[in-house]
């Protein structure tokens, strides 16, 4: 990846370029921040830059032999470590076993999140690990001579998922790595790391992207209306990965908002016959969608409570799309400290009931009856 392909982060890029120029690259650097701020893309661009045979002051050349290989993540001096999950056939997995999948996932979406990666592995509900035996692999690779480049680069993505004994085995090499070795470590939650590891890496905190940077990317890459672009930008809070997810789910969001508005109006007017129709409609959508809708309802209830309590803090606290905003202008008056806890609790309970395979129509109808009362409190 070229630096020019990484969204925003001008100051971080300048800092890296300056360090390379002055030949004071510290050998173990950790990039921390949400995935959607660009931690991995920055690390990929950094790796390409130090391995490039023909770099200029601002960027890699993008065309040399080395660049071509890094761009496909197949450079022999670029080593990749990331969390993996056990499978039926592989009880002792290591990164290399899944490197083809990781390459594919990252090349498709360099702003990859851990959740997306596990989904990619087909194991959404299972957190990955960097297992203890991975440390043997890392040490073995670092003891190899470099194949083609001056540097050997070891990227460790999601380092907080590293098993403690693996991390302990790496401490020594992090402190005194072989010459011309560069560790580029990526972390979302550095607070979960061993202090002994933290003290051995130089930490670079990657800030959120600016709203205008996200907005411009959306304008360049997606066919959205201006209003949709504004909405997605607001909701994603400087996280490009989130903005991509919002685009994917925006049609669902519209559907949920429409259902939610209709539901709340019917509950408020206590139109039981119409509520029954609504319940029929929603329960026809299937268990997963009902759960997603109820989660959406919790978020809307919570945001409306914040809005009703602290209208002056609106921009700071509440992130809603424009249509949600418009509806909430009136609806937030009905959510207050008298009903918020009970309301959110009932919706939560309904989610648990749906998960436990309770009869969906009954769950939704009961919830509606309770909401009819609560909303008038």
Dist. CA 6–CA 25, nearest whole Å: 20
Judge contact between 206 and 33, C-beta under 8 A. Answer: yes
Dist. CA 160–CA 188, nearest whole Å: 8
Radius of gyration for the alpha carbons in the chain, expressed in angstroms and rounded: 25
Largest Cα span, the chain: 76
3-state secondary structure 301-318: HHHHHHHHHCHHHHHHHC
Name the site residues for Zn ion (rule: CB under 5 A).
Answer: 52, 54, 60-61, 64, 67
Dist. CA 59–CA 99, nearest whole Å: 26
Judge contact between 185 and 159, C-beta under 8 A. Answer: yes
Q: Which is nearer to Zn ion, 60 or 236 (CB)?
A: 60
Query: What backbone phi and psi angles, to 5 degrees, belong to 337?
Result: -70, -15
| 3-state SS assignment for residue 163 | coil
Dist. CA 187–CA 185, nearest whole Å: 7
Closest CA to 258 of 327, 360, 208, 355: 327
Dist. CA 187–CA 198, nearest whole Å: 11
Judge contact between 315 and 233, C-beta under 8 A. Answer: no
Dist. CA 240–CA 227, nearest whole Å: 17
Dist. CA 342–CA 344, nearest whole Å: 6
Q: Which is nearer to Zn ion, 75 or 94 (CB)?
A: 75
């Amino acid at each position: 990846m070229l630096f020019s392909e990484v969204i925003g982060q001008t100051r971080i890029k300048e800092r890296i370029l300056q360090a390379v120029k002055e030949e004071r690259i510290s050998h173990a650097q950790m990039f921390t921040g949400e995935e959607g701020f660009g931690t991995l893309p920055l690390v990929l661009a950094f790796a390409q830059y130090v391995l490039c045979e023909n770099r200029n002051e601002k960027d890699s050349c993008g065309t040399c032999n080395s660049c071509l290989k890094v761009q496909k993540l197949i450079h022999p001096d670029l080593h990749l470590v990331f969390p993996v999950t056990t499978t039926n056939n592989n009880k002792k997995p290591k990164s290399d076993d899944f490197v083809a999948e990781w390459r594919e996932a990252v090349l498709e979406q360099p702003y990859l999140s851990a959740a997306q990666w596990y989904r990619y592995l087909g194991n959404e509900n299972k957190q990955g690990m960097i297992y203890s035996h991975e440390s043997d692999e890392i040490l073995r690779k670092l003891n190899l001579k470099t194949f083609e480049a001056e540097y050997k680069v070891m990227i460790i993505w999601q380092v907080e998922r590293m098993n403690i004994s693996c991390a302990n085995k790496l401490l020594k090499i992090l402190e005194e790595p072989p010459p011309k070795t560069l560790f580029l470590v990526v972390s979302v939650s550095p607070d979960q790391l061993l202090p002994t590891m933290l003290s051995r890496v130089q930490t670079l905190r990657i800030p959120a992207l600016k709203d205008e940077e996200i907005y411009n990317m959306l304008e360049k890459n997606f066919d959205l209306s201006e209003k949709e672009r504004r909405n997605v930008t607001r909701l994603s809070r400087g996280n490009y990965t989130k903005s991509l997810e919002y685009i994917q789910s925006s049609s669902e969001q519209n559907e949920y908002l429409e259902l939610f508005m209709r539901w709340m109006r019917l509950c408020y007017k206590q139109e039981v016959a119409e509520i029954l129709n609504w319940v029929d409609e929603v329960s026809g959508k299937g268990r997963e969608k009902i759960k997603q809708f109820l989660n959406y309802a919790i978020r809307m209830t919570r945001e409306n409570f914040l809005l009703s309590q602290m209208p002056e803090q609106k921009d700071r606290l509440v992130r809603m799309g424009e249509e949600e905003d418009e509806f909430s202008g009136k609806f937030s008056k009905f959510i207050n400290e008298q009903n918020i806890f009970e309301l959110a609790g009932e919706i939560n309970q309904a989610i648990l009931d749906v998960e436990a395979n309770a009869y969906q129509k009954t769950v939704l109808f009961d919830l509606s009856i309770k909401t009819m009362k609560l909303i008038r409190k």
